[in-house]
Structure 1
Amino acid sequence: MPALSDIPGRVLLVGAGKMGGAMLEGWLDLGLEPAKAAVIDPGPPPEVAALLDARGVALNPLNGGPPAVMLLAVKPQVAADVIAKVAPLAGPGTLVVSVMAGRTLGFLEAGFAPGTAVVRSIPNTPAAIGRGITVAVPNGAVSAEQKLIADGLLRASGEVEWVEDEAMIDLATAVSGSGPAYVFLLAEALAAAGAKAGLPADLADRLARATVAGAGELMIRSGIDPAQLRKNVTSPNGTTAAALAVLMDEARGFTPLLTEAVAAAAKRSRELAG
């Protein structure tokens, strides 16, 4: 993977909200020269504005020539209007990378000149702390070098998985894109259940947060299969086994619920993409 400092040209970030701002900070920390970065945003959040000022990153530049990369990090509902304004800034060699949900390669390609290299990706919210995972798909115009550049920029926010079939993006959206909300709900429900069982609500909340975060970190650091980790903490006829008998019920447990939930999210992602 080439160093971000080796990208042959500017990286133009369009949209500097929470996701875009976090990505920019990651790029700078990984060696992208501030002079090779620029931001287009009519009103970046105060913390992002402070970052731009402190690091000397240009905001809404009026010149500088076509960028090597244009990364779109705006809300999907304003994408058409924004692309119409920024597309003239792209050149024949510009790589367009999107982190917008629900906006297909076809939609993106239609907004730029024919033959433009485009990568569609779907990150998730832990990307804001560098612990995200992004699934990405290139169009046929993306060169091997451009794919490596996109990988480096996206990897500043966490892991990256590449797919060749764009249909996989809708499925990834349902699993990793929306997945953090499922985990937050788990923590929320676990805390509520603890409070209902008799724990003070604030203690139940702290226990639930620490348990979900700690279990996730153990899963990442150990590399052990989640099913094996579950078995490791489940003594026969013990308390965990009693709880899992409910949670693993074939009719009303976690698996059928999550299967239905992921299917619903994937269906909605396809609907939003048109």
Structure 2
Amino acid sequence: MTIQEMKEKAMDIRMDVVTLIHNAGCGHIGGDLSEADALVALYYKHMNVSAGQVKDPDRDRFILSKGHSVESLYCILADKGYFDKQELMTTYSAYLSRFIGHPNNKIPGIEVNSGSLGHGLSVAVGMAKAAKMMGKDYHVYTLLGDGELAEGSVWEGVMAGGHFHLDNLTALIDRNGLQISGSTEDVMAQGSQESRWAPFGWNVISIPGNDMAAIDAALTAAKAVKGKPTVIILNTTKGLGVSFMENNYIWHHKPMNEEQYQLAMASLKERKVHMS
């Protein structure tokens, strides 16, 4: 895909997410909208994955560590043919549905059950270390939320990734500055994430996290780094694309009424028109 095509695809995924969450009456919409660009870049260009190779030992791996924002991932996997989109859109979060509110590895394309925050990076480290031990060249990616970085287990993974020189590992941080109870800096101050990872032996790239060209370049650069893992700090906007949700922590996890749904869809459609 070209950069423009990926930008347009990300807006389409956002519209699917808004509809999915509205239909279900639940979901973590703010983080879904901020992470969409990075997930599109991964799944439509940079990762060696497809619906036909879910068990291929040489496939790249992706772990959504911030598992509560699973709706964007589900919508992308449906769009790419991993499962029926209609089933997703009509059964998400319904009683006995396989499409639950966190990644479920009974669903094709989901590597790991996640959502208990702080675990995804350590699992990704293990997968990347396994690739090295087996002589495999697959790459492992994981996406974390910035609120999640208050978990101590994250930093065990950071230390291990640097210690083992896992240049087949890329972590992405959705740095939108907000979490369920407010600003990340008010809940647990983080300061500069850029300065925290390098001392543990990581290559650090910091970019505008909703700029598709910047994401594309950063992912390309990460694959070229040798001898150390890479972290990409995605400086994003929570709720991106929906005017009344942007930079508002209330929309971390909040259902929409019908009027809000229509306004959200109109906002996304207008944003897509203006990007072409």
Ranked by relative contact order (alpha carbons within 8 Å, sequence separation 6 or more), the top structure is: 2
Q: TM-score, normalised by structure 2?
A: 0.38
Q: From the CA coordinates, give the structure whose radius of gyration is larger.
A: 1
Structure number with the higher helix fraction is 1
TM-score (norm 1): 0.39
